[in-house]
A and B are shown apart, each in its own frame.
Chain A
Amino acid sequence: MLEIKDLNVFYGAIHALKGISLTVGDGELVSLIGANGAGKTTTLHTISGLLHAASGSITLDGKDLQKVPANTIINLGLAHVPEGRHVFARMTVEENLRMGAYILKDQKKVSENLEKVYAHFPRLKERYKQLAGTLSGGEQQMLATGRALMTDPKIVLMDEPSMGLSPLLVKEIFAIIEELHRSGITILLVEQNAKMALAVSDRAYVLETGTISMEGRAADLAADDRVRKAYLGA
């Protein structure tokens, strides 16, 4: 579904992504793990048009994403859950979700999707009138994720959903990611929490200072000695 070939991205003189290639198949949950500064977020931002690549190609179902501005990329079915829970703090939970469906013109479809999101996240339904800024960290992550699902995207990019959450909430968030995956949504997950990410993913890529050093089935990677030493603390 999503195919990235030989992607090079620069921040000024800094070569942040050095020719990375990766694919995400239909219905797959693929994770991209790596340490701080490896280029995980850069990869996601380049895919969703917030950054521009110097060379290489990004295609979604054969369509080139590079020429598409960030705010119209969602029309092609690619939703981005940004890092650090970017919710609209001074709007209510329901307003936040409705903003997610901004590109949908059909109000009936919006209500349908809203019910679907509430089914995934019952906690959000309980608090639909609350201001998003007053939600807890985990709930804000749920809200950001739910908002991305409001358009029925083909693929969801998730950037560090576990960031800044307590271990219990991290488990909860990953349970939700697994459930979304089971319901047939394609997900590209970027995580520092390699253990959790590998546990839920089908396949994974390991990113090290701008290059992909390893790739393979998540279970294989989790058993790999190098990965265990570097990322799983074993």
Chain B
Amino acid sequence: MKQNKTMQGYLLNTVVIVVLFAAFQMLTAAYGGSGSFKLVIAPCLWQCCYLIILAASLNLVLGFLGQLSLGHCGFMAIGAYTAALLSLACERSEVFKNANDPVYLVIIFACILAAGVLSALVGLLVGIPALRLKGDYLAIITLGFGMIIVNIINNLPFCGQDGLALGSASASLYKNGLGFGSKSKVTFLWVALLTTIVCMTMMFMFIRSKYGRCIRAIRDDEIAASASGINTSFYKVMTFAYSAFFAGVAGALYACANATLSTSSFAFTNGGILNSTFIVVMVVLGGMGSLTGSVVAAVVMFLVNYQIKNGAWVALLPASVQGVFQYPMLVYAILLIIIIVFRPKGIFGAYEFSLRNLPADLKASRARKAAEKAERKEAGAHV
């Protein structure tokens, strides 16, 4: 019975995803040529895709394993540089001629995969010593590792600013490789969507598996988990590496979406959308322990970021508020405080949105609300 229900859920999800994906492809085919799609919607979708993967992957460590890691962008940087350099190497050795070459697609996916694998390996190396620590100390050491990674990349002769710019401007060099111009961003939009879907599926499978149960047990009580026979250090390091894998994949998508790479975009002090604290804010906003929450939060945070930078309504605000908007980090900080005060568990809490359970969940929520209302009425009557 239980098995049956799970199968139903998988089937339903697969069908819905395939239909949505097909519909999206048709829309792209129909409107892909228009200017606003090419210049606004497609780049935004790319950005959403890697932010979703990034937030969900951090949620594995932060929400499900319960360990605060502040170095997530370091892994993303590794993924971005791996993908960019690999595609650059392929381009230079003329493995493919141009973007219409069928080998080109193979190379895109190989680059994405390689980015993930290398990040996971570094995650393993970082995780083994770092996860011996807990709480604040772990946060500090991961923050340090994040900075170290970015600095190492910056100083490596073949991948620092100079490396990618060898002989000519950095942008033009790997543009024919992985760095997409606005036109290829539309053509290869499906790559980003497909990668995101596959990554999310892998993460969902992970948390629903025995491994997911184990890491939730470790989060709730490490001593009891260890007494139940769970090798806590193994699971911690493995989850950390698994999460780093997806951060690397997100990095590869980032490299695709931006024709230039600079280590400063991954630095901790970076005020833009890509820094480790921003991702923590996304996870907290969505709800620690809810992957669907992370997806929603990533989109919401992207929109907030986009609106305060590009929204037409910003010009109507008083000058002082506009002044605050000059520093987006201030806005995120205020947002984080508001979430923690008014909705400490985030938008979703630990709830997972599920198509199969949606009718039942809605019913339960309606019943709960009605009960609360009746209670309040009763309390009112007593007064």
A60 contacts chain B at the CB level, 8 A cutoff: no
- The stretch of A72-80, A160-168, A178-186, A188-196 that contacts the partner chain: A72-80
State A89–B216 Cα separation when bound (angstroms).
Answer: 10
State A152–B219 Cα separation when bound (angstroms).
Answer: 25
Question: Known contacts being A99-B213, A102-B214, is A86 close to B229, with CB within 8 Å?
Answer: no
B217 contacts chain A at the CB level, 8 A cutoff: yes
- The stretch of A15-23, A25-33, A90-98 that contacts the partner chain: A90-98
- Evaluate contact between B224 and A70: CB separation under 8 angstroms: no
- Evaluate contact between A95 and B350: CB separation under 8 angstroms: no
State A98–B213 Cα separation when bound (angstroms).
Answer: 10
Interface of B is mostly: helix
In the assembled complex, 24 residue pairs joining A and B whose CB atoms fall closer than 8 Å, in A order, are: A48-B227, A50-B226, A70-B227, A71-B226, A71-B227, A74-B228, A74-B229, A81-B227, A86-B224, A86-B227, A87-B220, A87-B224, A89-B221, A90-B219, A90-B220, A90-B289, A90-B350, A91-B216, A91-B217, A99-B214, A99-B217, A102-B214, A102-B230, A132-B220
Chain B hits for A144, CB < 8 A:
224
Chain A hits for B228, CB < 8 A:
74, 99-100, 102-103, 147
Chain B hits for A39, CB < 8 A:
none
State A148–B227 Cα separation when bound (angstroms).
Answer: 8
Chain A hits for B122, CB < 8 A:
none
State A44–B224 Cα separation when bound (angstroms).
Answer: 14
Question: Known contacts being A79-B227, A148-B227, is A88 close to B217, with CB within 8 Å?
Answer: yes
A82 contacts chain B at the CB level, 8 A cutoff: yes
The 7 A-B residue pairs whose C-beta atoms are closest, nearest first, are: A86-B224, A88-B220, A103-B229, A74-B229, A86-B221, A80-B227, A88-B217
Chain B hits for A89, CB < 8 A:
220-221
Chain A hits for B223, CB < 8 A:
50, 82, 86
Tell me the smallest distance from the CB of A97 to a CB of chain B, in Å. 10
- Evaluate contact between B226 and A91: CB separation under 8 angstroms: no
Question: Known contacts being A71-B232, A86-B221, is A91 close to B227, with CB within 8 Å?
Answer: no
Tell me the smallest distance from the CB of A45 to a CB of chain B, in Å. 9
How many residue pairs between the two chains, A and B, have CB atoms under 8 Å in the bound complex? 68
Chain B hits for A50, CB < 8 A:
223, 226
Q: How large is the interface on A (under 10, 10 to 19, 20 to 34, 35 or more residues)?
A: 20 to 34
State A80–B226 Cα separation when bound (angstroms).
Answer: 10
B6 contacts chain A at the CB level, 8 A cutoff: no
- Evaluate contact between B216 and A70: CB separation under 8 angstroms: no
- Evaluate contact between A75 and B229: CB separation under 8 angstroms: yes
Q: Which residue of A lies closest to B221 (CB)?
A: A86
Tell me the smallest distance from the CB of A163 to a CB of chain B, in Å. 15
State A103–B228 Cα separation when bound (angstroms).
Answer: 8
State A79–B229 Cα separation when bound (angstroms).
Answer: 9
Chain B hits for A86, CB < 8 A:
221, 223-224, 227
Tell me the smallest distance from the CB of A129 to a CB of chain B, in Å. 12
A47-90 interface (Cβ within 8 A of B)? 48, 50, 70-72, 74-75, 79-82, 86-90
